[in-house]
Amino acid sequence: MTAALTGILLGLAIGAGCRWFDIPLPAPPRLVGALLVVAMTLGFLGTDYVLTLTAAR
C-alpha cells in the first residue's frame, strides 16, 4: 500500500513540476496517452503479482 501511495504522490509531483516549469508532460496529452499509462501500470502490477505468487511457492 505504501508503494502505491508513493507512486501516486510521485506522479502528482512530476505532473506539478512539469506544469510549473512549462516542461511538456512525459505522456501524450490525449485520452489514448492516459490509457497507455494505465495499461503499463496494470501490466507492471499484474506481473509483480504473478511473480510474487510464483516466488512464494
Q: Which domain holds residue 22?
A: 2-56
What pTM was estimated for this model as a whole?
0.50
What is the chain's mean pLDDT, rounded? 80
Q: Evaluate if residue 5 carries a pLDDT over 80.
A: yes
Position 1 confidence tier, pLDDT thresholds 50, 70, 90: confident
Average pLDDT estimate for 14-34: 76
Query: Which residues, including other chains, have CB under 8 Å from residue 14's CB and lie 6 or more apart?
Result: 26
Report how many domains make up the chain: 1
> Residue 39: its pLDDT value, please?
83
What is the sign, positive or negative, of the torsion defined by CA atoms of 53, 51, 56, 7? negative
pLDDT value at 49 more than 80: yes
